[in-house]
Structure 1
């Protein structure tokens, strides 16, 4: 097999795994996978057989396929190799327990933010894990934090001139995004107010490593009705303190909270 053929095979296998991973149901038939991946049925069937053999795919019924256990093992290994994950996991879990809301840690990959940690609070239960999920930068509190050290031109180059709109509250212009980020720098946290989903509110604070650069962000999210008055002030304090402690764990000593 030539190098080009090998590259094509790997790309097609990745497309198949992406198609299976985005399925709304517990499994997909080969024909559905082929259509979603933009491949022929015979090619899909052949590659599925190899992915099954290697453990990257599995069968949930005689005719339906799902992602395989080897992917879970690899993702766990990647997480455990991440210093941000190791230093933030326990603090993120404690934040969820103390606020009773969802607490998350995310990093930036290209033009998206990707969840590394997700812990549920009893006031904001979810029925699925957020770990590994990719979200838009401009429409999330976590994403805005990950953009704090960038210039407006860098954001235009990264996100494009037009910003996708998800709700009537989504930031739709770079000028408005720049204004919100300037506010976020001054107060130490960013706000997501129903920008990705109606009824959802999120506060997020940046995490810095030993170089001083933003390497991650931590957030607390839940129903908008929870973030009111004194309760919001308490959540903000706990959030910023947690972000500072993670930064300290990563070697950013100047990020420590006073006292």
Structure 2
């Protein structure tokens, strides 16, 4: 019998339905009941039950004694094999740790995925300003330090796509004017680092620098996030850039791609 949702047959493939179930989970909803999963994925309750049971058996989902579901460790094991994340994190970790030891501030490493960034590693300072990031979390390119670096060195079509918007405003200081943002990206390329002051939260300052790969292409960005007013960006930039150069050397960075 055909699965029906929203008053009509659901013509999605089995794979699409499974992915929709997994996509129902978010940082704000890490645990869901079967009814919540069905509603958020757009599946019927019976289909959600069958697909969820298969995911539990494989280990992609876990089900607690109260019947609530959460992402399983098997899925985390598979995700950790992603080559961009795994090799990059292994090469970067010694330099991220050094950067943290020198500053005792929040250290972040991110890569670009389409029109967003993904955080692949972070070290949180115990007494540092709280940040909104988490490993595996996504965020806008136009507002964070690492995002500005990645956007500044992204292909032109990606830059144009982001600049066409919409550009979400997190604070009154978030740059959402396309002309201003384009000028800011040019400045990032010129000076070799990016500064995001109060653009994500009004009390945080981020300084980020590019990490280059074997062909000199920008493959990631590393940043420090500190409390506004505690340090000047120009004073933080050299240590962030030094960490970025160290990671780049570990990745076998060569001459820049022209």
Which of 155, 161, 164 lines up with 2:159 in the alignment?
155
Superposed CA deviations along residues 29-69 of structure 1, whole A, max 9, x for unmatched, are 11111111122111111111111001000013332111111
Q: CA deviation at 1:6?
A: 10
State the match for 1:42 in structure 2: 46
Task: Count matched residues.
Answer: 247
What 5-or-longer segments of structure 1 have no aligned partner? none
State the match for 1:13 in structure 2: 18
Q: Please identify, of 62-71 and 158-167, the stretch whose mean Cα deviation from structure 2 is larger.
A: 158-167
Q: Please identify, of 41-50 and 115-124, the stretch whose mean Cα deviation from structure 2 is larger.
A: 115-124
Alignment of 1:96-135 (within 5 A): 96-124=100-128, 130-135=134-139
| Residues 237/153 of structure 1: CA separation in 2 closer, same or farther (3 Å cut) | same
State the match for 1:72 in structure 2: 76
State how far apart, in whole Å, the 2-side matches of 1:58 and 1:77 are: 20
State the match for 2:57 in structure 1: 53
| Residues 69/6 of structure 1: CA separation in 2 closer, same or farther (3 Å cut) | farther
Alignment of 1:241-256 (within 5 A): 241-253=242-254
Superposed CA deviations along residues 120-144 of structure 1, whole A, max 9, x for unmatched, are 1233265997111111101111111
Q: Please identify, of 127-136 and 160-169, the stretch whose mean Cα deviation from structure 2 is larger.
A: 127-136
Superposed CA deviations along residues 184-217 of structure 1, whole A, max 9, x for unmatched, are 1222110111212231211100111121211110
Q: Are the aligned partners of 1:219 and 1:239 in contact in 2 as well (CA < 8 Å)?
A: yes
| Residues 98/254 of structure 1: CA separation in 2 closer, same or farther (3 Å cut) | farther
Q: CA deviation at 1:19?
A: 1.1
Alignment of 1:192-203 (within 5 A): 192-203=196-207
Q: Which has the higher helix share?
A: 1
State the match for 2:189 in structure 1: 185
State how far apart, in whole Å, the 1-side matches of 2:117 and 2:30 are: 25
Provide the alpha-carbon RMSD of the alignment: 2.5
Q: Are the aligned partners of 2:143 and 2:196 in contact in 1 as well (CA < 8 Å)?
A: yes
State how far apart, in whole Å, the 2-side matches of 1:159 and 1:176 are: 10
Q: Are the aligned partners of 1:199 and 1:223 in contact in 2 as well (CA < 8 Å)?
A: yes
State how far apart, in whole Å, the 1-side matches of 2:165 and 2:253 are: 34
State the match for 2:4 in structure 1: none
Q: State the secondary structure of the residue aligned to 1:70.
A: helix
State how far apart, in whole Å, the 1-side matches of 2:156 and 2:80 are: 35
Alignment of 1:23-42 (within 5 A): 24=28, 27-42=31-46
Q: State the secondary structure of the residue aligned to 1:226.
A: coil
State the TM-score, normalized to the length of structure 2.
0.86
Q: CA deviation at 1:23?
A: 5.3
State the match for 2:87 in structure 1: 83
| Residues 130/161 of structure 1: CA separation in 2 closer, same or farther (3 Å cut) | closer
Q: CA deviation at 1:70?
A: 0.4
What 5-or-longer segments of structure 2 have no aligned partner? 1-9
Q: CA deviation at 1:170?
A: 1.1
Q: CA deviation at 1:96?
A: 1.6
